[in-house]
């Protein structure tokens, strides 16, 4: 059996044409509008709509189109994703090739420099070549190109301790005994009562 919004087995061509028009009118559709456009009486249109369940068929069409649109969006996103993955692979391969060429160039420069330090470029230039080759190689392999370290205020490790957090917020922590707290609390209560 076909989809609910396709022509039904016992639905005449005229009735299906009327349903197709009804469906095509979009959210503003009405049976009266279909009757006017086709020159059919309201009774005929009402009978076809009821007999062939136009409302449910319109809902089925909307649900079907939502699925089709979602699948199309997924297919498009997948295709774009595949394209970007291909581009990333190509870029990584180019970076790796460039890295290999730079390493060979640096090796040749080192050999020349060892043979005659005055006639070849500087060691600094060779070091730059090797650094660039290293960066390209790390990029091609998906590795970080720079090392970033996070340290504490004094350059040491970061203290992740409750006491360190309290010191930062409140200053130096002091030991307080319970009797002191009770005495202070009683004083505050008395001061509040006297003020009233």
pLDDT in tens, 112-156: 888 887 766 777 888 888 888 888 888 777 777 776 666 767 767
Residue 22: pLDDT above 90? yes
- 63/23 same-domain check: yes
47 vs 160, more confident:
47
User: How large is the angle between the packed helices 13-24 and 42-51, nearest 10 degrees?
Assistant: 90
**How many structural domains comprise the chain?**
2
* 67 lies in the same domain as 102: no
27 versus 140: the higher-pLDDT residue is 27
**Domain around 51:** 13-73
> According to the per-residue pLDDT averaged within each range, which of 19-23, 96-100, 144-148 is highest?
19-23
Q: How far is residue 165's CA from residue 186's CA, in Å, rounded to a whole number?
A: 30
Tokens representing 15 are 């009735």
pLDDT of residue 169: 77
Pair (63, 93) in one structural domain: no
Judge whether residue 72 has pLDDT over 80.
yes
Q: Do 38 and 66 belong together in one domain? A: yes
Q: Are residues 92 and 136 in the same domain?
A: yes
Statement to judge: residues 50 and 26 lie in one domain: yes
What's the pLDDT score for residue 69?
Answer: 94
**Looking at residue 125, what is its pLDDT?**
83
Residues 21 and 66 in one domain: yes
Query: In the predicted model, is pLDDT for residue 1 greater than 70?
Result: no
13-17, 84-88, 129-133, 183-187: segment of lowest average pLDDT: 183-187
- Which of 51, 66, 61 is CA-nearest to residue 20? 61
Q: What is the pLDDT of residue 186?
A: 52
Q: Rounded mean pLDDT of 100-111?
A: 86
- 133 is a domain residue: yes
Q: List strand residue ranges (DSSP E) for 41-162, in order.
A: none
Compare 124 and 54 and report the one with higher pLDDT: 54
pLDDT at 13: 94
Average pLDDT in the 80-108 region?
86
Q: Please say which residue of 73, 102, 120 terminates a domain.
A: 73
Q: Are 21 and 57 in contact (CB under 8 A)?
A: no
The DSSP symbol for 134 reads H
Confirm whether 115 is domain-assigned.
Answer: yes
Do both 20 and 65 map to the same domain?
yes
pLDDT higher than 90, residue 47: yes
- Provide the whole-model pTM: 0.47
């Amino acid at each position: 059996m076909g989809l609910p919004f396709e022509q039904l087995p016992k639905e005449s061509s005229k009735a299906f044409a009327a349903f197709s028009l009804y469906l095509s009118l979009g959210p503003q559709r009405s049976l009266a509008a279909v009757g006017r456009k086709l020159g059919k009486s309201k009774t005929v249109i009402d009978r076809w709509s009821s007999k062939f369940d136009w409302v449910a068929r319109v809902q089925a069409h909307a649900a079907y189109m939502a699925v089709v649109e979602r699948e199309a969006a997924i297919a498009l996103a997948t295709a774009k994703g595949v394209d970007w993955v291909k581009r990333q692979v190509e870029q990584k391969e180019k970076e790796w090739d460039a890295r290999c060429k730079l390493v060979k160039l640096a090796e040749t420069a080192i050999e020349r420099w060892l043979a005659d330090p005055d006639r070849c470029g500087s060691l600094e230039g060779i070091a730059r070549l090797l650094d660039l080759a290293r960066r390209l190689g790390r990029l091609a392999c998906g590795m970080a190109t720079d090392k970033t370290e996070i340290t504490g205020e004094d350059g040491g490790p970061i203290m992740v301790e409750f006491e360190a957090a309290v010191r930062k917020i409140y200053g130096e922590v002091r030991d307080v005994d319970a009797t002191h707290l009770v005495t202070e609390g009683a004083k505050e209560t008395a001061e509040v009562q006297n003020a009233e």
